[in-house]
Amino acid sequence: MTNQATLTEKNIQKVSSHQKVVKIIVQALLYAFLGIMALIIVFPFYWMIISSLKSTPEYRLAVPTLFPKEIMWGNYAEAFTAANLGRLFLNTVIVGVVSTVLSLVITVLSAFAFARLEFKGKNTLFAALLATMMIPGELFTITNYVTVTKFGWIDRYVVLIVPFLVSVFYIYLLRQNFMQIPNELYLAAKVDGTTDLKYLWKVMIPLSLPTLISITILKMMGAWNSYVWPRLVTTKDNMRLITNGLRDAFTDMSGQANIPVQMAAVTVVSIPLFLVFIFLRKYIMKGVSRSGIKG
Amino acid sequence: MVESKHKWKAWLYLAPAIALLLVFTVWPIFNTLRMAFWEDYSIMKDLGGRLDFKFGIKNFVKVINYQGFKDCLVNTLLLTVLTVPISTLLALLIAVCLNAIKPLQRLLQTIFFLPYVTNSIAIGMVFEAMFNIVGYKTPEESIGIINTVLGVFGVDPINWINAGSSYWANIAVLVIYIVWNALPFKILILLGGLQSINKQYYDAAKIDSTPRVRVFTKITVPLLSPMLAYVVITGFIGGFKEYSSIVGIFGDDMQAVGGESLNTMVGYIYDALGNQEGRASAAALILFAIIFVVTMINLYVSKKKTHY
């Protein structure tokens, strides 16, 4: 009896140690796969930074070096002049900041009306707004191009800011957030004679700060990454935004183009995005996972 | 909800949004439809105050019969059909693996999200540099980092994007870049879905000592199907609107030097702006119709296959 018991115990031990080995192998395979994938994901960034610091002869070596022999900071200075990055950076900051501030004001006011106020046709209007989100943006771009030409807005900052101030998605996002704030707070404020605007400023905005930060980041990233619209509505190079400078300044495909300088310009454009990502990751992910909309 | 005494106040709050939406969202819906059916419309005539354009379907006929548009349609379909399944499967695999590990999970998760916050033109140029054969004139010079790495595995250098490169080599580069770019969003959504699956299902399977593969196909995939459907649908919509990845790698010409055009539907629409708004509108409506039909099919299929 006891003999048999120890035997099965031994068997169980054997089985569990067998399972342990399998588990370790599986885990090792998982890490190996994820590690290789992570390398593939990161490699372009590594190559971008490394190449931006190489001299042209070193970049062209048949056996590529994994780290620059001599660090060429001069590539960055050259990139700034070649792609006119200074001016384009200024344009992008102006457009980004102004459109973010105005967009936030408009979004907060509309979201407040939809979340807290009662008026005729509210639900119909909100549903109609959501329906416009299904239409691809290119359909709007065509008429908007005609409209801004008629307005005489070509080559002015206003054309880069005004057409995109209202985002139905942001209104929707903030409205959902406002709805979660208990109505009793609003009633109490009303009893105390607080005005709507003061209530909005003192209670609702502080309580929905994370959503507002998400909107700010997405909006700024939108200005930073916009390419098509500025190209369409500007004829002068110095009225364009930073991404335009990148592609337009280096369109030489002959293989003789100065790639290290090109990579320096690309790094300059990518670094701010990395910084935003590192410090504000959770806000970006929050916005992204609800939308699927890039930029 | 409080009955506001001043109902006009709500409209006051909404006024800026509504005014802008009327001009830049509602008006375009009508006007683009109208322009598509105006046969001889051009912005120049419009600015000159002419509005007596001929009404008809000539714009659509021209767009559909135009070889350049057919090429754009083929390129768009090809890129969508190739990138959506590859990126979805790869993202699913990565998400499942990420979900199965404990140490380093957060670090790896962050790394896999990295391509999301990039500028698609900028990183397109990095891919261009990586695939570019630098020294195709002298053998002492670089054949490009991708060819060098492939050389380690015994692969002969391939002309990916340089002058004289083949259409399929160009497409391969675009597929690699688009998949690389599409992974983060899909991994984020799928991993979120995996983490919300109730652990009890897996415990039950463990008691019954169900094999791993069966657990995956009978528990994980069905419970993840709403997220999979979401990722596939947004993937198709994004695929049909592909444009800036191609500009990033091949520039505004949308082709390798001397190569076949890699232009897409959206690229066609932008090219037509400036003198052929009627045709651009017709093409945009066709694009919208395609996206609409494909999304409906996707929704129909996912409704049949999805378990909520």
Query: How does pLDDT run across B221-256, given as a tens digit for each residue?
Result: 888 988 899 899 999 999 999 999 999 999 888 888
Q: How far apart are CA A100 and CA A106, in angstroms?
A: 10
On whether any CB of chain B is under 8 Å from the CB of A36, the answer is no
ipTM of the complex in this document: 0.88
On whether any CB of chain B is under 8 Å from the CB of A181, the answer is no
> Is residue B4 assigned to a domain?
no
> Is residue B39 assigned to a domain?
no
Taking a C-beta distance cutoff of 8 angstroms, is the pair A157, A94 a contact?
yes
Q: What total number of domains does chain B contain?
A: 1
**Mean pLDDT, residues A143-162:** 92
pLDDT reported for residue B268? 93
CA dihedral B43, B47, B53, B57 (to 10 degrees): 20
pLDDT-derived band at B51, boundaries 50, 70, 90: confident
> Is residue B286 assigned to a domain?
yes
pLDDT-derived band at A290, boundaries 50, 70, 90: low
pLDDT reported for residue A1? 47
Q: Other C-beta atoms within 10 Å of B15: how many?
A: 14
Whether B122 sits inside 8 A of A243 (CB atoms) is yes
> Is residue B132 assigned to a domain?
yes
CA distances from A44 to A37, A75, A270, B45, B110 (A): 12, 19, 12, 48, 16
Instruction: Give the model confidence (pLDDT) of B158-211 as tens digits.
Output: 889 988 889 999 999 999 999 999 999 999 999 989 988 888 888 888 888 888
CATH class name, domain A81-291 = mainly alpha
pLDDT surpasses 60 at A291: no
Instruction: Give the model confidence (pLDDT) of B278-288 as tens digits.
Output: 899 999 999 99
Domain extents in chain A: 2-52, 81-291
State the residue range of the domain holding B92. Answer: 57-305
Q: How far apart are CA A225 and CA A164, in angstroms?
A: 14
Neighboring chain B residues of A112 at a CB cutoff of 8 Å:
13
pLDDT-derived band at A133, boundaries 50, 70, 90: confident
CATH of the domain at B240: 1.10.3720.10
In a mutational test of the B interface, the residue from A266, A283, A286, A293 whose CB has the highest number of chain B CBs within 10 Å is A266
| Average pLDDT taken over every residue of chain A | 85
**Mean pLDDT, residues A71-82:** 88
Structure token pair of residue B23 = 């001009």
pLDDT-derived band at A192, boundaries 50, 70, 90: confident
Phi and psi of A166, rounded to 5°?
-95, 125
- Percentage of chain A beyond pLDDT 90 is 36
Taking a C-beta distance cutoff of 8 angstroms, is the pair A295, A218 a contact?
yes
CA distance B205 to chain A (A): 16
> Is residue B196 assigned to a domain?
yes
Whether B9 sits inside 8 A of A196 (CB atoms) is yes
Whether A243 sits inside 8 A of B119 (CB atoms) is yes
pLDDT surpasses 60 at B2: no
pLDDT-derived band at A255, boundaries 50, 70, 90: very low
- Percentage of chain B beyond pLDDT 90 is 45
Taking a C-beta distance cutoff of 8 angstroms, is the pair A237, A22 a contact?
no
**Mean pLDDT, residues A178-200:** 86
pLDDT surpasses 60 at A292: no
> Is residue B2 assigned to a domain?
no
Whether A34 sits inside 8 A of B94 (CB atoms) is yes
Choose from A164-168, A203-207, B85-89 the range with maximum mean pLDDT: B85-89
Neighboring chain A residues of B250 at a CB cutoff of 8 Å:
253
Neighboring chain A residues of B94 at a CB cutoff of 8 Å:
34, 37
Flag the least confident range among A108-117, A124-133, A254-263, B190-199. Answer: A254-263
| Average pLDDT taken over every residue of chain B | 88
pLDDT surpasses 70 at A288: no
> Is residue B205 assigned to a domain?
yes
- Percentage of chain B beyond pLDDT 70 is 95
pLDDT surpasses 90 at B8: no
> Is residue B32 assigned to a domain?
no
Whether B251 sits inside 8 A of A221 (CB atoms) is no
Q: Nearest by CB to B10, which of A119, A132, A168?
A: A119
pLDDT surpasses 90 at B258: no
Q: Is the dihedral of CA B67, B73, B76, B78 positive or negative?
A: negative
pLDDT surpasses 90 at A293: no
Neighboring chain A residues of B111 at a CB cutoff of 8 Å:
38, 41-42
Q: Nearest by CB to B136, which of A117, A227, A255?
A: A255
CA distances from A218 to A11, A99, A207, A272, B131 (A): 59, 12, 19, 13, 31
pLDDT reported for residue A251? 56
